[in-house]
Structure 1
Amino acid sequence: MPPPPPPPLLLLQADESYLCFWVCCSCCVRDTCLCDGFIVMISSWVSVIVMLVSCVNGTGTEGAIQPCAKIQASNSVVPLGSPVTATCVIRDDCLQVVGQGVQIEWHLGSEIIPSSPLVSESSKASQVVVRSFNHTRAFLTCCIQASPTQVVGGVEIRAGYPPEPPQNLSCQTNLTTPNTLTCSWDPGQQDTHLFTQFSLHTKIGDSNENYTYKLPTGTHRYIIARSGFVLFSEIEIYVKAVNELGEATSAHLTLEPVSVAKFDPPKIVMVEAVPKRYGCLKLSWSLSRHQAWMHDYRLNLEIRLKTADSGRWREQAILVSRVKSTRPVNLCRLLHGTQYFAQIRVRYQQSPWSEWSSSQSGVTLESAPAGRLDSWMKLSRDHMHKQLNVHLFWKPSKQFRANSQNVSYIVSAQKLSGEKGRLCTTMGNYCTFPLPKKGKPVYLSAVNAAGKSSPTEVRIYHKKVAHTAISEVTVVPHGDGGLQVQWEHLDVSRPTGYVVEWRPLLLSDESFYKFETVDRNHSSLVIPGSFEPYKPYEISVYPRFKDGIGFPHTVHAYTRQKAPAMVPKIKIEKTWKSHIELTWEEIPLEQRNGIIQSYKIIYWDTKGHINVVNADLKERRVVLKDLSSLALYEAFMMVSTFGGSLNGSSIHFQIEPFDTVTIVMIVTASGVGLSLLVIIMVMTCFSNHKRLKGRFLPVVPDPANSSIKRWTSDSTQYTHPSFDSDEPNPVYLSHLSFLDIPKKLSREEDDLWINHAGDTSDLGESICGSSLIPGYSGSNSDSVPYATVIFSGPCSSPSPTEPHVYLRSESTQPLLETDESCSPKCYQNMAATATEPCFFGSDHDCVVEEGADPAAIIWDDFPFLRALAMNDMQND
């Protein structure tokens, strides 16, 4: 059904600008348009110019306003770019032209287009031809040239394209309750710029049941309910597109709805080995419960497999045609003793495949391993046991078949391995053992429960050949998680091949070592696999020669890189007058996230002068030079990899006027000088030890532990050394006093001293044991009188036979109790004769001149005699 015609167009003018409104009115009177059931009010500031369409049925009510012009166009909807012709005839009774000359001009939108008057008509008719209408929608208006220009009529022209036939019509049946048939199509690549109506048409088999389904605008898909089709009857389907410029129909599609049904994913019931058949599995399956009613229909089944150690499904799936869900399927020509995972999908005839089912696994029957193993060997020296160790790695070759889930490997020094020659047995892919004697080869075999493979001979070299064949190695990411290794070899070397070895740096276990052998004519290798991003890998390329293995070339690589996870903390190591040394620790390997490309120290002062210094990657230190001691600096580090950069925390520092080196030098010089002074003083003290001891610590004999017989002048001279060998010893009295004798005994005491003036041998005994001294009772008295001992100085040498001289002391200090008798028993007064030796040192000669008066002796030099004299004077 064609669309309804557009409502009449009312053109309004305000301030020489045109406002256009679509209205549904049939006639307008003054400021009001009378419409079918409602009224449209026109604003008072808008003046009505003209009504393009007269009232319904061609007549208006009495007093209705008639249009001033009549416009006819060749077509209101035209193909885009086609010509358009229009005619404008102005009525004679139009108020705008009464009594005036008429000049007509045409406007297409805001553009003035040339026109020509009609010859057969009066000057009130004009015709215009638009040679190419390139607008999808525009107004063509007829105007009278006046002040301002008056629009007396107009028409809207729309342009576009006829619809294209719908493409790619397809339908699919859903067998899940409720059953439906869904059809979809492509409306075409070109936009028609016009309203286009789509409709879906169906015709069921021989029943002549036709259905038409109209679609909402912009919809290109429709779902037919179960009542509109029969599962096992053919149905003819097509789509029609219609617009104002024409219509188009898609190609007819004839199908059986069940043949386009998409089944639900089927279910694998069991996967098991076929008895007595190596390399065969039996697979039992069923349909989902919604399609279980089709178990008697023959369906097409597709199966895909993968081994347990493989990450990908086989590219070539196994197709089994016309099979019922009640019958299991046998899969043969598989590897022996290998675990397989299986998935299936199903369809009916040429219907779409269902989604893949969930996985189920099964293991084929075991048999003995077959084929050879690829091996790779390295040597290392064990310094503790002083021997060479062999590190042997292996992997299955393309021809190797383990034929079992549990395979172990035996390395033996004998071809026919036994317990005697066995070097190691392992379930892994490597083995370490001491180097066999005489460099004999070893033999590698695979063993499972069903048997043993033929041994693979591995030749061992005693030492690496001193050949350098690899000059450079580069590693770049390749594909999804792979690496491409390239190397350059020297022309002088003639290797027989290469070995590329790789391992993750963060894992030290040798089981993670992988290798690949490369022919001598190749210089690159693509390593597929699941390399982790942002993790470091060590890759080495070894040249192989006839007589051994050359030195490797090793690099570190990443599949993907990003900014480091951390930035080390900057430490101030040293400072100078205008320099400062900054250091930092190495970033842990697991936090680098890539290969470190640069360490940059960025610092600035308070004035905003920014400086950047690149640090050496190996030294991890930098020296900032030409710094001012008056400025405060701030600095931070930026660490970069190929994947990004990261900034660290900031530090502040300032150069002191006296730097660390200057302070250290001053402190060192001061310490050395002080140490030398202390050493000199100590040496001086030790060299003058005896003198200083005699000067500062004079020895006072202990009477309790003394013996008169041991008190010799020699020992005293040793105890009191002379400070000057040329001068006599000084006075050796540390204390000089006499006992206080009571007055009643003073006379007797005087007599005692007088009587013994010539002989003082028993003076001590008379004093010590005398009962005339009150308060003294031998050793049990509170105080014991004793005397100070006087020795002669070195000015004269007494004869060995001369008795020692003692002076009585007035001290009341108790003596140590050693004997009932006083020690010493007797005290002797010094004989004051000129012929006796001199006991008191002085600077003058000890000999008394002849004729000299003994009373003229200087008493200051003889304190003992002076004391006696004083006592005598007191007694007198």
Structure 2
Amino acid sequence: MATKSQTWSTFIFITVLAVQVCIGEKSCTIWSSAGDVVQRGSSFEVYCTFNCKCKGCMGSMEIHPPTLQLPQLFNSTTLYVNVVNITKNRTFSCPCSSRALERCGVDIYAGYPPVPPKNISCIYKVLDGENGDVFCSWNRGRDTYFWTHLRLWVKSGSHTDEPRSFRVPSKGSDSYSVSFNVSNSVKEISVWVKAHNKLGSMESTTFNYTLSDIALPPPPVLGQTKCSSRGCTIRVQQSVRTQHLELQYRLDRPTWKPYPDLGVQMGLVQVQSISSLEPYRKYHFRARAKFSTGYWSQWSTHISCWTQEEAPAKELDVWFAASTSELNSIRVYWKERNDSMARVKILNYTLRIFNPDTKSVSFRNISAHERSYLVSSCINCEVTVWARNSKGWSPPAKLSPCHITAKPPEGVHAMTSSNTVSIYWRKPETAFLPAGYVVEWHPEGHKLDELQWVRVGGSENHVIITDMKPFECYEGAVYVLGNDSSVGGAQFVGVNTVESGPTGGPSAQEKVQGNEVTVTWMELPRSQRGGCISNYTIYVENYDSQFRHRYPVSPQKRMHVIHNLRPATYMLWMTAWTAKGEGPAGQSIKFFIQEESQAYLPWVCTVVFLLMFLLCLGRISAVRQRFAVFFHCLVLEVVPDPANSKWARECVKEKQGRTDPQPESSSSTETDEEDEPIIVDVEELPEQRSLTSIPAVAATDVTSCLLQISMRPQTPTVHQTSYIKSLSHDSDNSDQTQTSLDTTFDYISSHEPDNGMEDDEDQEEEFVGVLGFIPSHNVFMNMPGKLEFPGKLTLDAVKIDCSDFFQES
């Protein structure tokens, strides 16, 4: 009896054996109802049957690339899926739920069966007189998406010859080709194509060819070439005899020009001549050949050759423009008449200048690279221009001075289309047409440097210009040329082909004067204009942005004045405009408008300084004497003397009867005949602030009388002569006030007899009414010497020292 341990060992062995048996089996079987190769667009089913002898084998179905189709249950052990309109290769697999078992799967390939070839053609390439190669090609048609085997079958015209096949290599392209050799004894061939793949096979229609109809000779070989000024001879060599030969030539342009058919050519080596060429041109040549039937050969390798020079056959096209840098000067321009002239190798140009005023003739040799010459100080000169090369001179081109002004053309205008500009004008309404027209154009402001022109006949009314640069502004004129050497022109401006807004702003400068600012600027660089400038705009803004104004300015101006700006700090900048819009702002400028009082302050200071300077000069006695000599005409010849007036004399007599006068000592250096001056004490009234001073009277008696008269009642009176003076004196005591009286006096001239005394009361009233009191504020205080009045009181005796005045100030 077996033990418990032996029974357990047996169970383990059986279990392991059962698992090994299940592992050795496939978990499922998968197949397609249409097979593993199907045609694109077809529909079918794919089945998967699981092996359920092993527990847990039933799984699912996966499709690659993934689709939205879900497998369906066919029975307890089988799943399936419907595949509809398959368009690409797919992979189907069925994994088992038990990882210990392998999954099963199948790859389905989708494609097309072969189709008959399209456009099959064959060419017989003749190599020499013995044999040649036949080259056949065709389009494959629709792609099969499978590896397709192709073979070309060929059968000669002889019924006894067996057909031959040639394998066609697959290039993975849309066309196929194959070549094979045939002898010259073969006259006809038949060709067809066979193909097969996994979905089927195909055999094309048979094509029959006569080799002479598809014969292609080898290209000729061009040898030595020799050219004259008007033609070239070319050596042509061929490997087979052909019946036709064609030559072509061209200049540096890409278009070839065929030469007329050269006819039947029988030799292998030929020399062909080409005429009607132009002198001094580089020509390129090529050739091809053909049998009496068949195809033209390929073109030969081209060769090049220069034709020789001739003397220039036509005169130069000459034009002129008045110089802006030199007065009464013109700049003469020239260019070749046509392309044949342009290719001549010019060595130099010669100018003959005839001055009709001085009857002088001069010659100038100009470099071949130049196209203009400045004729200085001779606007009426007659200029003749020649071009010279190694073979000779061109005919003379004469530019005569135009003394007669023709009527300018009317209706001149420009029209822009795409990248071209058309200039139109109206023909004159006369029976006789003009000799011609000249249309000139140039970038704005660059006439002398970049002038271009074209000359047309008198029957034309427009020209088309194709070489105007984009984003450039052009101007020009249309000139009518009369048969009598008269010229009349009409200008056009603001023409451009392609335009944009300016890419930069003008750089401005400012100059401030008072409350106005003058703005100046330069033109924008040509690269920043973007076309024709229509106007400029000046922007002015103060710092607090309370004022901002714009000033449009014409494009011809380079200066603008802005008036009536209020005192403030401003910012200024400029922009430029074209028809496409406004450009960016230029550099900003900061400037100030000051108060008007501050503007006049320097002048006021200057005037005050001059007055103080003149006042200081008055302290110098020599200067005063000089002024007295120069301005003596302004001083009265007879100075009225207040001491000789009637009231003064009467007052002195009365006072002498009572008291003797006490005159102060004087430092005057006058003669003894003159009386000693007397100082007058005057009371100062604080109401008066005038600094006008009155010279003191010559005696205290007179002063005392003045004070007495001022106290009398005032009575109006009539007097014959009036003299108004102002008196100003400092008192001896600072505690006292000074009084100044403005008084009207009646004088008795020292040179005339006394006519008697008038009524004293009338005089007193007149005196008090005129004389007033004014403060002096120590103007004449502490002077080295008192006011001195030697002898009679005269204006010359009044002397004032200003030194203490400036010290007090």
Q: Between the two structures, name the one with larger relative contact order (CA 8 Å, sep ≥ 6).
A: 2
Q: TM-score, normalised by structure 2?
A: 0.50
TM-score, scaled to structure 1? 0.47
